[in-house]
Amino acid sequence: MTMSSATPSLLASLQSLAAKLGAPMRPPEAAQAVPYEQLMVRYSQGTGRFSDDRKHLILKGDVYLLDGERDGDWEGVDELLVPLASLGKAPSPAKPPFNRPAGPVPELAPQAYSKGIWRFTDGSWLTAIGPALLHTAQLSTLVTDFWISANQIITQGGGQFAGAQGLKTTGVSILIPSDTTLEKVQKVSFKTVDVFRIIRREQIGKLPSLPH
pLDDT of residue 2: 46
Task: Measure the CA–CA gap between 169 and 153, rounded to whole angstroms.
Answer: 9
pLDDT of residue 47: 98
Instruction: Please give the pLDDT value at position 22.
Output: 47
Q: How many CA atoms lie within 13 A of 131 on its CB side?
A: 7
Spans of the chain, pLDDT less than 70:
1-26, 206-212
Per-residue pLDDT, 32? 77
Give the span between the Cα atoms of 147 and 166, in whole angstroms: 24
Predicted pLDDT of residue 205:
81
Instruction: List own/partner pairs for 72-76 with CB under 8 A and 24 or more apart.
Output: 72/118, 72/119, 72/120, 72/121, 73/118, 73/119, 74/44, 74/46, 74/116, 74/117, 74/118, 74/119, 75/116, 75/117, 76/114, 76/115, 76/116, 76/117
Taking alpha carbons only, the member of 169, 176, 173, 183 closest to residue 134 is 173
80 forms beta bridges with 112
- The pLDDT of residue 8 is 55
pLDDT for position 162 = 97
Instruction: Please report the pLDDT score of residue 12 as a whole number.
Output: 62
